[in-house]
Copies of this chain bind each other. A is one copy, B any other.
Amino acid sequence: MDKLNRLNMIQGHILGNLSFPNDTSLSDYVQRGPSFNKTALHDFYYEIGLEYYKDLRPIFEQCPSLRHTNIFKLSKADKRKLIIEQLTEMKPKLNFDRKSHADNSLRGFVFGRLLFSFDMAFCVRLGVHSTLYIDSILSLGTEKHIPMLDKAFSLQEIGCFAMTELGHGSNVSGIATTATFIPETREFEINTPNSLATKWWIGAAGQTAVKSTVFAQLYVGGKNKGVHAFVVDIREKDTHNVKNGIIIGDCGGKFELDGIDNGFIIFKNYRVPYDSLLDGISQIDDKGHFISQIAKKEKRLGRMLSSLIRGRTSVTSASEANLKNALTIGIRWAAIRKQFGPPGKPEVPILDYQLTRNRLLPHLANLFAINAACEITFLQYDPIKNLMTADPECNEGVEFHAVLSAFKVLTSDWCFAGIHECRKICGGIGYSSHSRLGELLAKHDVNMTWEGDNYVLLQQTSAFIVKQIQKSLGGKKVSLKTLQMIETDFATVKKQKPCKDWLEIPELVKSFKILFNFILHKAMVKLQDNAGKAGTLFDAWNLSQPALQNLGRIFGIIIISERLVVKTESLKGKCAVLYDLISKMTKLFLVDKMLAYVPEMLANEYFNRNHLNELEGMFTGLCGELGESSARIIDAIAEEDFMFGSCIGRKDGQAYQHLANEIESQPDCYQAAPWIDVLKKLITP
């Protein structure tokens, strides 16, 4: 027991009515299972950008305002104030500038993951400015916008990103805000033509930002030129008053994340100078003629939206952080919490139960998979962004978009399910705000909606795949790396059978590729059938969604699996125990995901009854074995206590004492109801 912990204990004894003897349950559990070096596992897990984790973590520790005690009790205004205070404290340590941002995305990605690990609201509050606002100028603006960027990097001017409208979220091309070019003054007049066109949910617009990137339908000479982006002032720099010609209001309470000041913006004949146009793609010449380097409206929009890529990757990072925090809490609590036991014997930790392990371990395997998805993103982002800068329509860019979309969907879905399982594992205490699991669940929830609704995004991934298969059926070779697994001849696919070693990792990945082709074939047949029935491609596409959504999911799973295989193999010959452990984790991921698709495997006669039994047996066996090591694994990869802030998930394992200390330190813990008079009225006969 370290000094701080001992101090906490003593404090508990002095202050409160609740005190507990030192609890060794968690430290005992951390010793269970095959012994491995925890630092080695840490360095393996945080492999990509390891040096940045080591650099950046101390920043968080050095900012005393970055602590969680009872922040869930703050009012909306106080949550927002706290975030601004935290940002102010962190600012001198940020080293945030244009050059480092452009040169090396990895440090930024690592910093983002750490920010998410601390608090999603805090991270998004900063991310709206540093990712959405800044990236929109970087990718859509030109030389003349650089001074604006410098003020943004130094946090002198905080910006927001006004794309979404009350009436349009997913369908960006349908936004209705207009920007009309006024040739006489070379200005644009920005208007909100009706209330549905009100910019809505704009993070940081509510009370903070002085600048905004605004997406609007550009009109030149009375003609619509499609969606374009403008950077405009929305508040006076000195007084912070909202500019004339703009109305800004607060979007109200949310399920969570009230620390982000989401606002709505209405423009009324708001005039902005020509240079407001982010003119990297389109310009208006001196004669008032519209010029664009991309001829088609839809392609221009695609190019605009590509500036959102970094935002989308942030959901994968958030999922890693949120799920890791939830599992840290859930697994540690399950090692401490005892309930029932063999007749006549002491109660056992609930983590001893096979059922608990079956419930928790697939989510731990998902965490390693989400981590792998982050790594793929971090490794590929810079090279592909460079290719896209040279050629916005390059194959690699299109492919990357499809991959990131699938990752965003899979990881946010997995994370939600995992947090909820941890909430339930922690029972009533999991429902307490002091566990922070409810807060994590509610904060994470929006990840399934923003940065592209999950069901809509999955359609973009499947559209990408279908387009490639159509090319391939047309005789062209599929050159993209991620789609080499496509087999257009279904008879060949049908002939495949699992080999003797089908439960080994490489064979499981192979089976997933066969599954991909089963689903692909099914989706193509559905598309064809429905095209015949429905008459329009729009309807055929919508009717075929059940198969198409699965296609996108399996595509993502395969890409993640391949990274997991590479990572796992990198341990071979280094540390036998760790290699064995991580192999099991990778296998559990594959087995768990395969179980969801068993119907297709059985229906296509690829699997038989024995395969199902073996798969289920393998699942339970792996959960059992990895469950034994789970507290030690968490110990190796969890963030520090102050980062996730749950009193029941702390490293020292004194969950009950920390919970009691927090509960008893509430000012109203032992107070009578302030509404006692109302109560007396009720009980008066």
Contact = CB atoms under 8 A, between A and B. Distances in A.
Interface string A655-685: 0100010111010111111111011111101
B603 A249 contact: no
A147 to B, nearest CB: 14
A663 B250 CA distance: 7
Contacts of A88: 678, 681-682
A679 B210 CA distance: 11
B428 A449 contact: yes
Contacts of A609: 603-605
Contact of A673 (B17, B207, B608, B670): B207
Contacts of A241: 672
Interface stretch (A274-282, A431-439, A576-584): A431-439
Given A196-B656, A249-B663, A81 B545 contact: no
A453 B423 CA distance: 12
A91 interface: yes
B339 A252 contact: no
B620 A546 contact: yes
A198 B18 contact: yes
A195 B660 contact: yes
A340 B18 CA distance: 58
Contacts of A171: 339-340, 347
B445 A431 contact: yes
Contact of A664 (B76, B249, B430): B249
Interface in A613-662: 613, 616, 620, 656, 660, 662
A645 B340 CA distance: 42
B682 A250 contact: no
Contact of A253 (B200, B432, B676): B432
A303 interface: no
Interface in A538-553: 538-539, 542-543, 545-546, 549
Given A84-B678, A254-B432, A342-B536, A673 B598 contact: no
Interface stretch (A156-164, A499-507, A564-572): A156-164
A81 B669 contact: no
A442 interface: yes
Contacts of A340: 170-171, 174
B434 A253 contact: yes
Contact of A252 (B433, B536, B612): B433
A333 to B, nearest CB: 13
Greatest chain B CB density within 10 A among A72, A438, A549, A664 is at A438
Interface of A: 17-20, 70, 72-73, 76-77, 80-81, 84-85, 87-88, 91, 154-158, 164, 166-171, 174, 194-196, 198, 200-201, 207-208, 240-241, 247-256, 261, 264, 266, 338-343, 347, 353-355, 358-359, 420, 423-424, 427-428, 430-434, 437-439, 441-442, 445-446, 448-450, 453-455, 536, 538-539, 542-543, 545-546, 549, 595, 598-599, 602-605, 608-609, 612-613, 616, 620, 656, 660, 662-664, 666, 668-676, 678-683, 685
